[in-house]
Each structure stands twice: as C-alpha cells, then as structure tokens.
Structure 1
C-alpha cells in the first residue's frame, strides 16, 4: 500500500462506510464493511482533459488547481471547489456517503470560467488493494453495469457514473490515462484501473455535471447490484435521503445555543462526528480514523478503548442520544474477558486488538460509564441487562488491589507509556467500584453494594495517605513506577526509595517508589470520577500545578505531562478541555471559558478537533478528528450551559 498522509482534512461516512480526504479533495482512505477495517484505497482521484489545450490530463488534486473546502451545512457532505487559472475551469466535487447503504457518491460540476469553448473529457484513476492486501487483486470492466470493478475474495467495489463510460482500462493504466488514452483492456490481475467520460463542448459560463457512484459488496455481483440500485435511484433522490437523515439526527439531539456561532457550529459538528465514528452494526466507537497503518509513529487509532468510549458515551448520552449509549454498553458485554476485566482495546467487531498490556482504568471506566448511562435514562432494564458483567467486573477490580499499597495493582497508564500504580488508574477504579455499588443498590443487591463501596473507600484512603506530594503541592502521578535498572540505580543513588519485584518466572521489575511528574490526568480524581470534590484543597492545588507546569508556550493549551515527547510534546485539545471542566466544577467559569475558547480557536477549517496542536505553529499536529477531543468539547459546553454561563439555552 502506498504511503499515505498522517494528517487528513475531512471525513465523510454513514456509520458503515468511512472515508478520509485531504483539503484538495483527494480520497486517501475508504473503510468498509466496518469503519475500522479494512481500508481499500491506494490511490483515487479525478482529472480533466481539455481537447486542443491540454498536453496531458490535469488532475484536480495537483497544481495548478487552487482549492477551497467546506461541509455543506450541518452535514458530512464535503464540498471541494478547485479552480485552474491555466484552464480557466472550475470543478466542484461533493462527496457523501448515502445513509443505510454501502454507497459513496462523488458529484462533479464543471464550469467554464473562460471566454472560449472547451471540449472536455473527464477521467478517473482508481487503484485499490482490496482488504488491505497487495496480492491477488483483480480489476475488470463490467459491461452490463458500465462499471469498473475491483475485487479480492469477499471484498468488492464497483465504480460507475450517471453518464455512459467512454473509455476504460484494467491494469497498467497510469501511463495511458495521463494522455487521456485508455486501451480497452477489460480485465487484469492488478489493483488499478481507469475510466473516462466524454462530456462534449462547454461554452463560456456553461457547465456539465457527472456523478460517480462507488458501491461496495460481498463479491462483484453484490457490489454491482448495489451500484445498479444507486444509479437507478439517482443522485437527487439519494441526496434528499442524506439531507433528511442528518437533519433528523441533529433535531433528535439536545439543541444548544450559546450565543457564539463558532461554539454552536462546533457542537453540531461534534454530534455528527459521534455518529460517523460509531459503527452501525456493532455499536462500538473508534478513537479516530486510522492514520498510521504501519504503526510507524504510534500504535494506531482505529480501535475502541473503554477509556475513550466512557467519555465519548457520556457526551453522547448528555447530548440526547441514549440509544447510541445503550448500543455501546451492549457491545461491551461481549468484549469482557473471562476474568471480568476489559482489555485495553478491541476491534469494533469485539475481537481483541493489538495492545501493550492490561490497563486497569479501562475496566473502571466502563463500570463508571454504565452507571452514568443509567442516570441519564433511568432504565432499570438496562441495569438488569448489564448486571452479570458489572458483577464480574467489580469482582475483578476488588481482587486486583495491591495489599502493600491499597492501590490497584501495577498496569499500563492511560497514555499507554509506563507501568505502575497510577493515580488516574486508581481514580478510575474508584469510579468503577462506586458505579458498580450504585448499580447493585438499585437492583437490591445490598450486600455487594456495601462491599464494593467499602473497597472504593479503601482506595480513596490509600490515595489520601500515600499520594500527596508536599514538595510539589500536587498528587503524585503514582507509585511503583517501572523503570530500567540504570534508572533505578540512579534514583537510589539520589536517596530515592526504590524496589524490585520478581515474578514467578524469575524476571525482575525495577521500580522507583514515587512518580512526581505533573500529569493532566491527575484531574481525574475530581473530573469525572469524583474521588475528591473539586473544592478539595489538594485537588485545587493539583489543578493549579497542572495549569502552571503544563501550559504550552507560546501557543497555549495544556500538555499531557512534563517533558512529554510524543509527536513533539504538544498541547492536547482533550487535556485543555479537561482543565476547563474542572474549573467549571470549581466555580471558576471564566477560566473554563478561556480554555474552551482556546480549543475552539484551534479547530480545523472544517470544524474538526485534532488530538494535538503544534506547539510552534498552532496548527493540527496529530490525529484529525479525535473522537475523545469532540467528546470533551461537548461535555465542557454542556457543563457551562448547566452552570448558566451562556445567554442562550438548550
């Protein structure tokens, strides 16, 4: 598969297909039949040939074309306008996924902005590695459906248009298509193919339109059947279906009017992102569209983390979509491990994904989230449905306490970078146990409720007794931080407490007892897990230390932790909004609005929220969009609305 850009500019989808495009309108990735996998596109783009004026095809994503891009209102329909001063030609592409189908449409309008007549041929180059596999792909032209078909095993995509195809070629197409010459080869065991359409003469100020349909299916026959249906229904009917779907979706959620159009528009875009990132079939949610298929700079993002999802579903529920929340927690019932834990991350079909090891906060977050979902819906039937999983999960957490410290046993931290007994993890486990205790109480299991509540209180006592760092006036990030033997020896020489644990196979873990690093996740003791109230003196001092130590200069925003190296150590949208949410709870709403506005100011041109903002340029630095970022934005806006900050009303 050809190397793809890490950062993309736009996403379109319908909860069963998902696509990522850049600001020039080039389609880089297309996921189907899940929004997480597999991804089929290697290269996919359109061009024009002006007879008598062009030496070769002018591809719309290349120079000298100039581009403008926007979403069509409050929809995920992407509009990319390209203009060529050289050809005096304007081409507008509207990309959309048709709801409840396996169809993508790319509608092109070509306008002659010059003073002379143009004779135009429109061309499309398509290279697909079906199922992300470079081997055994076939591309063929289907005469019955006037379509180019890519297929391998069960995956197939058929491409046709609203106008009759003029030329086609399967295999070895690149050189010929550059000259607008396709040789009519009908089939080849290759990944690439090309199509052309003669659009005829276009006078000054006149326009031509053509709609391309991409239909996916289980094998060529099903893909062609989907294609035939879409072409027969036509673009206008499918567009009405798309517009109606998104209008109804937004109308069914909580309406927010803050008096600030940028905030309101970003709120609506966030609701759309939630739907795009949640899989229609399974009910699960991805952290982000995949941007690093080869794990070259990270471990991938197109998976479901229980931690991210707990925040995301809290936002989804509060925004007025409880059915989506219920579908997600129903999905968690089949992903729970036999020991009662939830592992770090899963594919959307529920299978275990690649991971770095157990994160105790995942289990705690899901149990906490189940109780939060019930608080929004009041549906006792939901509690009864999840009760077996709640019981197993709570018992797992109770049995996973370190008798030496009273904290959850060592596991990976929420950033997936270090092992230890982390303060955030302990707060999440506290939240999970209190949530489980409340569920047990609501279902009349008083004995278990009392037991789990006591286990949670024991964790609170352990944190109070051992995790306050008087020197830094903040909570320690954790205890028993796993380090290299050299790091432990250095710490020991400096007079710091260290320890060594030996497992039953004889392998040693070297540890520094206290981890003093200031980390934004320490806010979790108050928000959202309420282990300590926001007005608790230690929580206040910790939040102040976070703001003091982690504010990035000169751009602003809050970094994850001191000396963060990941992608350059940039401020994150979600950590900045985490501090905003804490300030709301604390009653410092002006400070909260300041941090909210920072996030709004650093959205992309298309109102998408990245994971990180470049600490030097202020531009998106990594992962666009990050679903967790959008969730924290929605939660912050709703917190401020409920605090009476905005003049508008929800």
Structure 2
C-alpha cells in the first residue's frame, strides 16, 4: 500500500503505511539499503487482557503532520479497548535516530493496565540471511546487526525502560515470529537469535481513570555497535521529548526560510506546498541523488522498485527546488551527475543512490544493430536545470567547476548525436521508457539543453562553443517544427520512428509530454501551434469521470483500470495535469486567465492522500492512489507550478 507518512534527514528515511506500520527503513542512503523491505514493524496494544494490533479492525486512525514540520501528528481510538493515543514521530534532523512519543489516554472511569508492543522485522541489507538480534543487559536495550549495520531499540515510560522482550526466528522452520508471542500480553525473553530473526519489546503503564501518560521509543541506527550505543546515550542525555521538539523547530524554520505571499491561493494549497517541500527533502540523499520514490509496495507488481535516481526526474526536481530557494540541495545533484557522466558525454538510464549504475531494460543492440541505451532527455535536462540554477544563484565558480567535465562534454554529445539531414536528435527512448524513436519531448529538451550550454559558454567567453551550441539548437528547433508538427492535426506529434532505410513514420498519439515544446523554450506558450496542441491535450487526455485529471497519453496501459479509452484514455497523473496548469500560467495575460491553473492546482490538493502525499497516478473512478506514493516528481511539479502561479499573480498585482 502507498506510504502515508515519510520521515527523513538525507541519510535515513522511514516510511509508514495508512495503518501507521513502519514499512521501510533506508540507511545509509535515501533509497538504499532498505532494512525492512516492506515487512511489518507494527505496534500492538494489550489492555486488561484484550489485545489488538494497530491494523486490526476497531481502530479509528487519523494521520498527519504537525504544521510545517516533519514530525507526525497522528491519533488513534479503539472503543473495544477503551484506549486513545496520539503519536509524534520523527527522524532526527541531524543524527540517524528515529524518535517517537506516544501519549496513551484512558478516556474511561476505570483504571487500566496497558502494555504496548513494538515489533522489529528487520531484513538487514535487504536480506534475512545472517542477521543477529540480542538483548544487551548493559544497555537494557535490544539491537539487531549484520556486518556494519546496527539498529538499537530502546524506550521509556517515566523512569521505566523496556518491560519485556522476545527474540526469535521468523518465517523459517514453522516459526511466524516473535510478534505472535505478544498476543497474550507476555513476552518470553529469549535473549538472542541468529539467521532469519525478529524481535518484540514491550512497555507497561497503569493508567488511572482519565489519565494520560507519555511513552517514548527510539531506534538508533549506525555502522557499528559504538555508533548506536552513542546514539542511545545521546537520546537518554538530551531526552527524547527535547529532541522531538528541536526536530520540529528545525523543519519549521527550514520550510519557512523564504517568506512567501501566497496571493489568492487557499490555505489547503499552501499547506500542500510546504509539505511538498518537506517530502521532497526526505527523498534527496545527502550525496546528491534525488530519488524517484521509495515505496516498496511496488514490488508486488514488479520485481524492481523506484528507489533510483533518474537524471530526468532529478533535473526537474532540482529545477523546482532552485526556484523555491533551496540550492544547497541541488548542488550535490549536479556534482553527482558530473561524476557519473560517461566519457562520451551522456547519462545512462538510472542510478542507485550511491551513484552506481541502476538496473535497466534498455538494450545495447536491437535487430543486430548496436544502439545507445539512453533517454537523451536525461542528459539534456541536467544542463537545462543547471543553467536555471545559475540564473537563480549566480554562482559563477560552482558552474565553472562543472563547465569542462559536465557541461561541455554533455553539450558536445548532444551536438554530435543528431541526424544531419533533419537536425533532430538520433533515436533514443522516450521519457516513459517504453518506446524508441525521435520524440517531441526529447527533442525539445535537447534544444533547451543546448541553449543552456550556449548561455554558459558565453559566461566564460568561449565564442566558438557559443556558436556551435546555438547553431545546433537552431537546427533542432527547425527539425521539431518541420518533422514533429502536423499541419493536418494542428498539433505536435508524440514523435517519429526511423526505419532501417532512414524513413520517418509519425506517431500521432495524443501525448501530454509535448508540453516540453514551450516548457524548454522551443516556442512561446502563446504560439498558435502550442495553443492548438495544449487545447487538444485537454480535449483528448482529460479523464471524463468524476475524478478528472490528465492521462499520460491515449491508451496508456500502465496500471490500466478501464478499456473505455474515449472516457478513460489512461489513469490521471499529477505531473501531467500540472503540466497543463503550467501552460495556462505561462500564456496568461490577465488575472482571469489564471483561473484554469488555479482550479488544477486545487484538483491536486483534493486528490492528495490523508496526510498530504501525492502519488504517481490515480484510479480514474475512485481517485485512490495508484503505483507509488509519494512520487518525488509529483511533489516537485506541484512546487514548480505554485511558484510559477505566484510569479504571474504578483506580476498582475503590480500592474493594478
């Protein structure tokens, strides 16, 4: 199921589902390694002989965050148990420590004995082989380890620490796991186990009638026993309540470091904007990788995941972060792109969070012919975003450090990787990674990348390169207009396919990504060809149900929910819908012209999840999240669209 809550600090990421069950714990990188891999680290409650797991029927859960922070504000009520709780959870802003405060509330007139159980189904380094879990009497805590990955679990209620513990075997030899031991309210206190192991710890509190009591729980994560031991001591010395308060203050300050006038946008829109900044931050690794998504539920549909850095996604996320005023997050991304760029000047399909090459399905040979297994827009958009980074920051020396090893190499590749006859880029895979050809989005991004390279070369007085890149960009633009625009249809094509005889076969499938023609500067948003194209996107790709939204393209198969293509051309995607909003903003000439964009921004808010997450796509009839959630690209596109809206709104306001 999608992730309703995400908490992180750039080196550690923790995800929760709708039942407040911890499903993913990533360390030492955002997106890698996952030490839970979608299994359940759950909470159980024993109250006067009655037991319930938090995902059992009977719980009414409310999920959210404390305002403008990465600290949760969640609540639960169980009438059968006669128990309420509130939950504040966070990953410390600097140290790799997960912190949680559970306020237990007795709403009845009867005294209650409450035991709270936490289960730990770790699969360290993504594998259940060779793990060890043990109780450490010197720390009065439980920890799991394998090689250089350690996870120490501890907590307290008042002055009392762990009440009981159990350590044992899971999913092997008929053993279900120590979680089963919790259901009678008593843990057997086996002190150690190795192999495929899990653990459960409990806390005990007596609640007088109408009484409330705070329980604190934490997990210290590190590369050695000494690291997690020090982390545990850090929590005990500073107190978990202080660390939670400081973490909340840190993120509140971070997300509000730029004061914004949100104009006529609603409080709900503003709330999701700030949450989107925070969520996007959790998906950016300190080493520079901007990860697409970290929801391992996708493994139920494919034996792979989204925990990779796609240079395209990363570049567009970086663009939104720079425009929002967070260049400190994007510099490492550009440095990482420079480090992983091939000697020939192109970026590959995708990368792991540490910069190593990720999995791919793009072949190096097809029909006996060697080909580059790339999506060229991924190379182009890095340069496009980098130029916009410079325009925002004017960091001359930073861009100069990337000029020769990244910018010139990538730009020279784009100049050379073209068809001499048409000026267009040679075939590569499209941004959806489904087909190989010459696509409007890719060609437009190459134009934008080459124009960016020319502008950067001009900064350093390389007139020969300015002319080289400008000439190539002009030829790409001419090729787009001549070969990728259909006069008969009055819109841009998705692309063309090149056969072995170098003949071009057009693909006129209505396609949302052709918005790139104006987004990357090929033509202005108010060009008649762009207007006709975007209006037809609205006509052909709007999902004609109560949900609405724009599909990627007509007859989209990915997570398909309907065969009625005229009504449901595909599932609605947040990014595609917001692309339409961006176009309305770009061509707006008056305040009234902004209304369609404002409506689409509100649509995105309406279909956010309970705690504010934006998924990749939606069910066209139910409006439920489909595929992964949160998707970093969805949140960053929302950020960018709101920023662009506010720029236009303020421009019109000043005229009045």
TM-score of the superposition, structure 1-length normalised? 0.91
Q: Which residue of 2 aligns with 1:191?
A: 197
- Please tell me whether residue 446 in structure 1 is matched to residue 463 in structure 2: yes
CA contact (8 A) 1:258 1:648 kept: no
CA contact (8 A) 1:550 1:558 kept: yes
Which residue of structure 2 aligns with residue 106 of structure 1? 100
SS in 2 for 1:66: strand
Shift of 1:647: 9.5
> Structure 1 pair 94/256, CA: closer, same or farther in 2 (3 Å)?
same
1:94 equivalent to 2:85? Answer no
Q: CA offset at residue 405 of structure 1?
A: 3.2
Does 2:612 align with 1:618? no
Residues 578/21 of structure 1: CA separation in 2 closer, same or farther (3 Å cut): same
For 2:143, what is the secondary structure of its paired residue? strand
**Structure 1 residue 233: deviation in Å?**
1.5
Given candidates 35, 45, 49, the residue that maps to 2:46 is 49
Contact 1:427 1:531 in 2 (8 A): yes
**Following TM superposition, by how much is the alpha carbon of 1:140 offset from its aligned partner in structure 2, in angstroms?**
0.6
**Alpha-carbon distance in structure 2 between the residues aligned to 1:623 and 1:296:** 11
After superposition, the Cα gap between the structure-2 partners of 1:23 and 1:590, relative to the gap in structure 1 and judged at 3 Å, is same
Deviation at 1:298, TM superposition (A): 7.7
Q: Deviations over 1:272-298 (max 9, x none)?
A: 122111112x02211122334647348
Q: Does 1:273 align with 2:279?
A: yes
The one-character-per-residue Cα deviations of 1:17-54 (angstroms, maximum 9, x if unpaired) are: 11111222111111111111111123211222223x42
Match of 1:598 in 2: 603
Alignment-derived partner of residue 546 in structure 1? 537
- Most deviating of 428-437 and 306-315: 306-315
The equivalent residue for 2:34 is 39
- 2:295·2:629 contact (CA, 8 Å) conserved in 1? no
Kindly state the Cα deviation for residue 247 of structure 1 after the two structures are TM-superposed. 2.2
1:310-355, Cα deviation, whole Å (9 max, x unpaired): 2211111111112222222122211211111111211222111112
**2:527 is matched with which residue?**
536
Q: CA deviation at 1:181?
A: 2.2
User: What's the offset of the Cα at 1:225?
Assistant: 2.3
* Residues 19-418 of structure 1 aligned to structure 2 (within 5 Å): 19-41=14-36, 42-51=39-48, 53-54=49-50, 57-162=51-156, 163-172=160-169, 173-189=178-194, 190-199=196-205, 201-259=206-264, 260-280=266-286, 282-292=287-297, 294=299, 296-297=301-302, 299-355=304-360, 356=362, 357-388=373-404, 389-418=406-435
Query: Aligned equivalents of 2:299 and 2:500: distance in 1?
Result: 35
Aligned length: 613
Q: Structure 2: how far apart are the matches of 1:443 and 1:391?
A: 12
The equivalent residue for 1:581 is 582
Instruction: Output one character per residue of 1:61-104: Cα deviation in whole Å (capped at 9) or x when no partner.
Output: 32222211221111111122111111111122221111110100
Partner SS state of residue 451, structure 1: helix
C-alpha separation between the residues in 2 aligned to 1:197 and 1:592? 51
| Distance in 1 separating the partners of 2:386 and 2:86 | 45
Q: Distance in 1 between matches of 2:458 and 2:358?
A: 34
Which shows bigger deviation, 217-226 or 137-146?
217-226
Note the C-alpha offset of 1:577.
0.7
| Alpha-carbon distance in structure 2 between the residues aligned to 1:117 and 1:602 | 42
- Determine which of 468, 480, 501 is the counterpart of 1:463: 480
- Which stretch shows the higher mean deviation, 430-439 or 401-410? 401-410
Preserved CA contact (<8 Å) 1:258 1:647:
no
Q: Distance in 2 between matches of 1:512 and 1:454?
A: 23
Q: Does 1:563 align with 2:555?
A: yes
CA contact (8 A) 1:30 1:39 kept: yes
Q: Secondary structure at the match of 1:590?
A: helix
Contact 1:288/1:627, CA 8 A, preserved across alignment: yes
Whether 1:632 aligns to 2:633 is: no
Could you tell me how far apart the structure 2 residues matched to 1:236 and 1:348 are? 32
Unaligned 5+ runs, structure 1: 482-498, 503-510
Q: Which moved more, 1:452-461 or 1:166-175?
A: 166-175
Contact between 2:70 and 2:248, CA under 8 Å: does it hold in 1? no
1:490 matched residue in structure 2: none
d(CA) in 2 for partners of 1:556, 1:524: 22
**Higher mean C-alpha deviation, range 334-343 or range 293-302:** 293-302
Quote the Cα distance in structure 2 between the aligned partners of 1:298 and 1:542.
37
- CA change 1:630–1:648 in 2 (3 A) is farther
Structure 1 range deviating more: 515-524 or 119-128: 119-128
Partners of 1:405 and 1:512 in 2: CA distance: 10
Is residue 18 of structure 2 the alignment partner of residue 15 of structure 1?
A: no
Specify the SS of the correspondent of 1:332: helix
After the TM superposition, which parts of structure 1 deviate over 4 Å for at least 4 consecutive aligned residues?
Answer: 645-649
- CA apart distance, 1:548: 0.7
Contact kept in structure 2, 1:577 and 1:632, CA below 8 Å: yes
Shift of 1:648: 9.1
Instruction: Tell me how far apart the structure 2 counterparts of residues 537 and 222 of structure 1 sit (CA, whole Å).
Output: 62
Offset at 1:590? 2.2
Is the Cα contact below 8 Å between 1:359 and 1:411 reproduced in 2? yes
**Structure 1 residues 19 and 118, CA gap change in structure 2 (3 angstroms):** same
Is residue 506 of structure 2 the alignment partner of residue 514 of structure 1? yes
Structure 1 SS opposite 2:90: strand
Structure-2 residue corresponding to 1:508: none
Larger CA deviation: 616-625 vs 296-305: 296-305
Q: Structure 2 vs 1, CA of residues 369 and 575 (structure 1 numbering), >3 Å: closer, same or farther?
A: same
- Taking the aligned partners of 2:81 and 2:440, their CA distance within structure 1 comes to 61
Provide closer, same or farther for how the CA distance between residues 330 and 516 of structure 1 changes in structure 2, counting only shifts above 3 A: same
**Mean Cα displacement is larger for which, 166-175 or 124-133?**
166-175
For residues 474 and 481 of structure 2, the distance between their equivalents in structure 1, rounded to whole angstroms, comes to 10
